[in-house]
Homo-oligomer: A and B are copies of this chain.
Amino acid sequence: MLIVQKFGGTSVGDLQRIQNVADRVVRTKKAGNDVVVVVSAMSGETNKLVAYAEHFSKMPVKSEMDMLLSSGERVTASLLAIALNAMGYDAVSMTGRKAGIVTDSIHTKARIEEIDPTVMNKALKEGKIIVVAGFQGVSMEGNVTTLGRGGSDLSAVAIAGAIKADLCEIYTDVSGIFTTDPRIESKAKKLNRISYDEMLELASLGAKVLQNRSVELAKKLNVNLVTRTSFTDEEGTLITKEENIMEKPLVSGIALDKNQARISLMGVKDRPGIASDIFNKLAKSEVNIDMIIQNIGHDGSANIDFTVAVGDLHDAKNVVEGFVKTGDIKEASYDENICKVSIVGVGMKSHTGVAAKAFSTMASENININMISTSEIKVSMVIHEKYAELAVRSLHNAYELDK
C-alpha cells in the first residue's frame, strides 16, 4: 500500500517523540508499504515564533509571517529524515515547494491550487521514504505560503490525493472519532468507520479532531482518511465514502457545540429585501451564521432568530444595532448561554422517527428546545447551556450508542 502518515505538533513535540514517529514509519515501511510522512512543527515552536513577531508588531505583514512560521515544519521534517537515515532507511525531506504544493497568494490562509507530484513520485519509485514539511506551499509568484489552522492535515490529504495513496493516516493525541465526547459520556465508543458527510457534520458541530477543510478535501479527492493516536498501536477511525460502510447505523454520534450564541431580532420591518440586507451586512463583517429561524407576526413584521459563534458575537452585535438605530429592527436580544446538541447519522436518510426520538428524549428530561434545524443526516437542537451534558448523555443512551 501507499500510505501518507501525518504527525501533528504533539506527536513530534520532542526528540524522543520524533524517534517514536521514526519507529512507526519504519514499521509501516517494513510491512511492505511505501510511506510519505507529513509533519507539523514541534509543539510550542509556532507559538514561540508568533510571540517573537508580536514583540515587534501587533499586525505583522502576512507574507513575513509565512516566511517565519514555515521554518518550524522544515526543522521537524529534516530531523525526522535524519532519524530515518540513521536507522538505515533512505529518507528525504521536502519543503512544500519541493513537494510541488502550489497555493494561491493569500498569505497565512493560502488555499492549495494544485500539487505537482513529479518529484514525490520519482522519490517513491526509488524506494525512498518522503518527509514533507506540512502547513506550507509556494505561491505562483514563488513566495512561501502557509495554509492556516489545520494546514498540515490539509497538506497530508492533498498529497494523498495527488499521489493516489491508499490511505491517509492523521496521527493526533486522540485515538479516533467517538460516538460522543468521552469526557462528557464515559460510555462513548470509538467508531470504526464513518462517512465523510457524517464527519463533516460532527467536525462542524464541535468534534475537534479534524478540521472541515481537510475532510471536505478528502471527500473531494476520495482519500481514505484514518484518524488515530501516535501514542499507541490502537486502530483509529476510517473516514471514507458512504458506499464503503456496510452496516449503516441509524445514528453515528452525538455532537455538542457550546461555542454558540443566539441573536433574536424582534419586529423586523415588513419591507422587501430587509432580511437580505441584514445577512449581507453580517457576511461583509465576516460573521458566520449557523441556524436561522424566521416567523411572521400578525402585523406583517417578522421575528428572526439566528446563531453565530461566540467569537463573532461582538461583530454581529455591531451590525444588528445599526439596524435597530434606523428602526428596521424594533428590538434585538443576545444570549450566550446556549449550546447546540446534534445527532448525526447516515442511517437517518432511510429511517423515520430519529428526530421524534430526540424531541421526546428532551421532553422526558424537561429540556426546552429553542431552535431546531435538520439536514438529511443531522438533527440539531439549541438548548440552554446548563442542560448540555445532560442532553448529550440522554441522547447517547436513547440511541443505544454504548452498545
**Residues A53 and B82 in contact, CB atoms below 8 Å apart:** yes
Write the chain B residue with the least CB distance to A55: B15
**Residues A81 and B61 in contact, CB atoms below 8 Å apart:** yes
Q: A52-B15, A53-B79, A79-B52 are contacts. A74–B85 as well, Cβ < 8 Å?
A: no
Q: Report the stretch among A27-35, A64-72, A349-357, A388-396 that lies at the interface.
A: A64-72
Give the chain B neighbours of A81 by CB distance below 8 A. Answer: 61, 64, 67
Give the chain B neighbours of A86 by CB distance below 8 A. Answer: 56-57, 60
**Residues B82 and A57 in contact, CB atoms below 8 Å apart:** yes
Give the chain B neighbours of A70 by CB distance below 8 A. Answer: 74
Give the chain B neighbours of A55 by CB distance below 8 A. Answer: 15
Bound-state CA distance A110–B70 (Å) is 23
**Residues A68 and B57 in contact, CB atoms below 8 Å apart:** no
Q: A67-B93, A67-B95 are contacts. A60–B85 as well, Cβ < 8 Å?
A: yes
Per the 8 Å Cβ criterion, residues 54-113 of A in contact with B are 55-57, 60-61, 63-65, 67-68, 70-72, 74-75, 77-79, 81-83, 85-86, 92-93, 95, 98
| A142 contacts B by Cβ under 8 Å | yes
| A49 contacts B by Cβ under 8 Å | yes
| A19 contacts B by Cβ under 8 Å | yes
Which one of B18, B19, B72, B78 lies within 8 Å of A67 (CB-CB)? B78
**Residues A56 and B19 in contact, CB atoms below 8 Å apart:** yes
**Residues B75 and A74 in contact, CB atoms below 8 Å apart:** no
Give the chain B neighbours of A60 by CB distance below 8 A. Answer: 82, 85-86
Per the 8 Å Cβ criterion, residues 130-155 of A in contact with B are 142-144
**Residues A57 and B74 in contact, CB atoms below 8 Å apart:** no
Shortest Cβ distance from A18 into chain B, in angstroms? 8
**Residues A82 and B95 in contact, CB atoms below 8 Å apart:** no
**Residues B79 and A68 in contact, CB atoms below 8 Å apart:** yes
Write the chain B residue with the least CB distance to A71: B71
Shortest Cβ distance from A43 into chain B, in angstroms? 15
Shortest Cβ distance from A13 into chain B, in angstroms? 13
Q: A98-B142, A142-B98 are contacts. A56–B68 as well, Cβ < 8 Å?
A: no
Bound-state CA distance A75–B53 (Å) is 10
Write the chain B residue with the least CB distance to A57: B86
Give the chain B neighbours of A79 by CB distance below 8 A. Answer: 52-53, 56, 68
Shortest Cβ distance from A51 into chain B, in angstroms? 9
Write the chain B residue with the least CB distance to A75: B71
- Between-chain CB contacts (< 8 Å), 20 pairs: A15-B55, A49-B75, A52-B75, A52-B79, A53-B78, A56-B86, A57-B82, A57-B83, A60-B82, A60-B85, A61-B85, A63-B92, A64-B78, A64-B85, A64-B93, A67-B93, A67-B95, A68-B78, A71-B72, A71-B75
5 A-B pairs with least C-beta separation: A57-B86, A68-B78, A71-B71, A67-B78, A56-B83
Q: Name A's B-contacting residues (CB within 8 A).
A: 15, 18-19, 22, 49, 52-53, 55-57, 60-61, 63-65, 67-68, 70-72, 74-75, 77-79, 81-83, 85-86, 92-93, 95, 98, 142-144
In addition to A52-B75, A67-B81, A68-B75, 17 A-B residue pairs with Cβ atoms within 8 Å of each other are A15-B55, A18-B56, A19-B56, A57-B83, A57-B85, A57-B86, A60-B82, A60-B86, A61-B82, A63-B92, A64-B78, A64-B92, A67-B74, A67-B78, A67-B95, A71-B75, A98-B142
